[in-house]
Amino acid sequence: MHTVEAMLETYPKDLGDLDRGKLTACIQACYECSQTCTACADACLSEDMVADLVKCIRTNLDCADICATTGAVLSRHTGYDANVARAVLEACAQACKACAEECERHASMHEHCRVCAESCRRCEQACRDLLASLG
């Protein structure tokens, strides 16, 4: 999503000392992970062994919701509140970690869980990198 960068560049006011590279990467990772988790929940649902994947589906659904909200919060810069940004990033990193761990348990058997686990790990890392840069 090259538009994430384009929207940051056209924001009319000063973005302060935010690390633009880390912010761009984190917004992109959040939207990607939200889609991947939505699709992985659905793929798990269509597996014959769905009964063994119910925890994975639930973790996917939580992660999809939390990533979507985090991506939206990070896309706003007007009236920035560091405490809210930090708390949302912490929740997102936690949800991505939980979903990655669950998907990794099924990654050798289900390719969609492998792709999803990687997407969750990228998003978890992007959230932690951005958190660290916020000081």
51 or 108: CB nearest a second copy? 51
DSSP code, position 53: G
User: CA-CA distance, 65 to 84, in Å (whole number)?
Assistant: 17
Any contact of residue 35 with a second copy (CB under 8 A)? Answer: yes
Site pattern 71..110 for a second copy (x: CB under 8 A) = xxx-xxxxx-x-xx--xx-xx--xx--x-----------x
Task: Report yes or no: 103 and 56 within 8 Å, Cβ to Cβ.
Answer: yes
For the CA atoms of the chain, what is the radius of gyration?
Answer: 16
Q: Which of 59, 92, 99, 60 is nearest to 73 (CA)?
A: 92
State the residues that interact with a second copy by CB under 8 A: 1, 3-4, 6-13, 27, 31-32, 34-36, 38-43, 45-48, 50-51, 54-59, 61-62, 64-66, 68-69, 71-73, 75-79, 81, 83-84, 87-88, 90-91, 94-95, 98, 110-112, 114-116, 119
